[in-house]
Chain A
Amino acid sequence: SYELTQPPSVSVSPGQTASITCSGDKLGHKYVCWYQQKPGQSPVLVIYQDNKRPSGIPERFSGSNSGNTATLTISGTQTMDEAEYYCQAWDSSTGVFGGGTKLTVL
């Protein structure tokens, strides 16, 4: 079965740039979405189709996808961005999530 691999944790200082990676076989041939989940809350879509932002998502969130790796980038990271982030793609008709990355802003 298809797998997506994320680092368990990433740390960043406020105002700096955070990068969260998501790896999978030929992932660049698929569309990748990213979801943000804060403790006790439901997930929120922050990036779709590799690099598009839904309305209401700040411009500091961006994405890229090439080769075997997709990357979520948060520029000028704020303390409110501290959360778990999940990448997601489709393998045929089956949805696949990465294991999640805990972003700590300190």
Chain B
Amino acid sequence: EVQLVESGGGLVQPGGSLRLSCAASGFTFNTFWMHWVRQAPGKGLVWVSRINTDGSSTSYADSVKGRFTISRDNAKNTLYLQMNSLRAEDTAVYYCAMGVSERLNRWGQGTLVTVSS
């Protein structure tokens, strides 16, 4: 069974940093692209970033470009999102998702990031 378990969320001050993790199991992690998607409280889904199978290619939404870095450790079956220079508007539930071609096939349960002083 495919499982994606996010962790690392919490309360952080504006300007601070946080690293999210997504532990994957139940599938061959190193053969799938992976994504991060976020959802602010009471708001819609927003795509954040994606990474290819070996980590050599990444893409970002304009709103996080230069501040967030996506990476993966295929030996540990884990996806990461390093978030720097955090702003109040980054407050959201962050989901990791498994990509198959153009679609996000399976999603984790999400981890909440709150940016506030």
Which residues of A come within 8 Å of B, CB atoms? 1, 31, 33, 35, 37, 42-45, 48-49, 54, 84, 86, 88-90, 93-100
- Please count how many residues in chain B sit with their CB below 8 Å of the partner chain's CB atoms: 21
What is the distance, in angstroms, from A87's C-beta to the closest C-beta of chain B?
A: 10
Cβ–Cβ < 8 Å partners of B105 in chain A: 45, 54
Asked if A88 and B104 make an inter-chain contact with CB atoms under 8 angstroms apart, the answer reads yes
Asked if B47 and A96 make an inter-chain contact with CB atoms under 8 angstroms apart, the answer reads yes
30 A-B residue pairs with Cβ-Cβ distance under 8 Å, sorted by A, are A1-B62, A31-B102, A33-B104, A35-B104, A37-B45, A42-B95, A42-B107, A42-B109, A45-B105, A48-B102, A48-B103, A49-B101, A49-B103, A54-B105, A84-B44, A86-B44, A88-B45, A88-B47, A88-B104, A93-B50, A93-B59, A94-B47, A94-B61, A94-B62, A95-B35, A95-B37, A97-B44, A99-B44, A100-B44, A100-B45
Asked if B103 and A97 make an inter-chain contact with CB atoms under 8 angstroms apart, the answer reads no
In chain B, positions 16-54 with a C-beta closer than 8 Å to chain A are 35, 37, 44-47, 50
Which residues of B come within 8 Å of A, CB atoms? 35, 37, 44-47, 50, 59, 61-62, 95, 101-110
What is the distance, in angstroms, from B45's C-beta to the closest C-beta of chain A?
A: 4
Asked if B62 and A43 make an inter-chain contact with CB atoms under 8 angstroms apart, the answer reads no
Cβ–Cβ < 8 Å partners of A98 in chain B: 44
Asked if B47 and A44 make an inter-chain contact with CB atoms under 8 angstroms apart, the answer reads no
Cβ–Cβ < 8 Å partners of A89 in chain B: 102
Smallest Cβ-Cβ distance to A1: which chain B residue? B62
In the complex, A97→B61 CA distance in Å?
12
What is the distance, in angstroms, from A82's C-beta to the closest C-beta of chain B?
A: 17
In the complex, A100→B37 CA distance in Å?
14
